[in-house]
């Protein structure tokens, strides 16, 4: 990725898509008709795939996770929330934000890779073609806008990648768990028990997940979209929960009820990237109308 200077480290990935392509290796697209995306859908992952995905990961992806697991501490997440969640950086409409994000140009081949805007439109268009509700189509359109953090100098490991709770024991089902050995929290007695700084059943709202684009876009949108959409935004990268079933001890009833929406959204995010490129110009009026139905003309970022 060329456009964002990295503050704390090298940028190991050529493209943010490398991490998301890696998700697809870990969680391959189901083939059967019955497994098509729908609410309540949560595909199984074969054990063989589970065993091999780390060994098969590109060196850039491995290095990405090494940095992510080393530096995503509880205190880092607290500091980033303080830095960003006052939403005092700029005021921008949703379509404007999508165009702003689209400045993020990866080093990889522009002819074969989707732009950020194209990924958002593809995700949303897939939802639309499946007859999903308008709020869900819009949720698809905004879900990765938090990646604008990259444009503000945040390193890749603090923007993308799977998220996981900080402040308590790291699950062994998080990808590349051995890299947590270098995370200072793994030796801090406040953070190493099963519940850590949390209480059993406290609910995910009380849990500081590792910092990234999910939490940021959730906070930007939280006054404007329904709760089920907000769950999709806030937890779409929380694979240890929505694909691995971990951290049940932290959940409350609201989390358990909304898991189905996070799982329903995931295939639209993951498995639409290879389809034909969307016609941005032709689609814009539809999305401008949809945005205006839920959001004010300017939103705080």
Kindly list the residues in this chain that would bind Fe ion in the complex (CB under 5 A): 144, 269
Q: Are 62 and 19 in contact (CB under 8 A)?
A: no
Smallest distance from Fe ion to CB 269, Å = 4
Residue with tokens 């998700």: 23
Please give the structure tokens belonging to residue 250: 């932290």
Min separation Cβ 213 and Fe ion, Å: 6
Long-range contacts of 274-278, Cβ-Cβ distance < 8 Å, separation of 24 or more? 275/122, 275/126, 277/114, 277/118, 277/122, 278/118, 278/121, 278/122, 278/125
Q: Closest CB to Fe ion among 168 and 264?
A: 264
Q: How far is the CB of 193 from Fe ion (least distance, A)?
A: 30
Q: What is the distance between the alpha carbons of residues 260 and 262, in angstroms, rounded to a whole number?
A: 6
User: Which H/E stretch holds residue 92?
Assistant: strand 91-92
Q: How far is the CB of 217 from Fe ion (least distance, A)?
A: 8
CB of 220 closer than 8 Å to CB of 101:
no
Smallest gap from Cβ 48 to Fe ion, in A, equals 26
Short-list 20, 24, 18, 13, CA closest to 49? 24
Q: Is the dihedral of CA 144, 10, 168, 78 positive or negative?
A: negative
Nearer to Fe ion, 102 or 186 (CB): 102
CA atoms within 13 A on the CB side of 267: 21
For residue 126, the minimal CB distance to Fe ion (Å) is 11
Name the minimum Å distance from CB 51 to Fe ion.
Answer: 26
Closer residue to Fe ion in complex, CB, 196/240? 240
Based on the number of CB atoms within 10 Å of its own CB, is 255 exposed (0-12), middle (13-18) or buried (19 or more)?
Answer: buried
In the bound state with Fe ion, the residue whose beta carbon lies nearer, of 113 and 269, is 269
Q: Alpha-carbon torsion 17, 18, 23, 27, what sign?
A: positive
Q: How far is the CB of 70 from Fe ion (least distance, A)?
A: 21
Which CB, 144 or 185, lies closer to Fe ion? 144
Cβ closest to Fe ion, residue 19 vs residue 291: 19
Measured between its terminal Cα atoms, the distance across the chain in Å is 23
Q: Whose Cβ is closer to Fe ion: residue 162's or residue 269's?
A: 269
- Residue (162 or 185) nearer to Fe ion, CB: 162
The answer to whether the Cα torsion of 23, 27, 33, 38 is positive or negative is negative
């Amino acid at each position: 990725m060329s456009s964002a200077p990295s503050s704390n480290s090298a940028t190991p990935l050529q493209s943010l898509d490398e991490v998301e392509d890696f998700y697809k290796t870990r969680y391959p697209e189901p083939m059967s008709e019955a497994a098509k995306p729908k609410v309540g859908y949560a595909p199984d992952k074969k054990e063989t795939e589970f065993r091999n995905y780390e060994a098969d990961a590109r060196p850039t992806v491995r290095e990405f996770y090494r940095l992510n697991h080393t530096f995503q501490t509880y205190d880092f997440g607290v500091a980033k929330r303080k830095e960003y969640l006052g939403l005092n950086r700029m005021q921008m409409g949703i379509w404007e934000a999508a165009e702003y994000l689209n400045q993020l140009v990866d080093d990889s081949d522009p002819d074969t890779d989707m732009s950020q805007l194209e990924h958002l439109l593809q995700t949303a268009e897939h939802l639309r073609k499946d007859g999903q509700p308008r709020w869900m189509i819009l949720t698809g359109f905004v879900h990765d806008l938090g990646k604008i953090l990259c444009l503000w100098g945040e390193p890749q490991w603090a923007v993308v990648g799977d998220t996981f709770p900080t402040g308590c024991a790291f699950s062994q089902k998080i990808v590349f768990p051995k890299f947590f050995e270098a995370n200072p929290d793994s030796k801090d007695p406040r953070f190493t028990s099963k519940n850590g700084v949390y209480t059993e059943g406290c609910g995910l709202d009380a849990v500081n997940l590792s910092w990234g684009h999910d939490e940021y876009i959730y906070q930007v949108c939280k006054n404007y979209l329904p709760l089920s959409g907000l769950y999709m935004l806030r937890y779409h990268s929380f694979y240890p929960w929505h694909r691995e079933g971990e951290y049940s001890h932290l959940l409350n009833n609201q989390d358990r009820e909304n898991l189905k929406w996070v799982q329903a959204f995931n295939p639209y995010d993951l498995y639409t990237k290879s389809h034909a490129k969307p016609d941005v110009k032709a689609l814009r009026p539809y999305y401008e109308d949809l945005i205006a139905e839920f959001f004010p003309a300017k939103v705080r970022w």
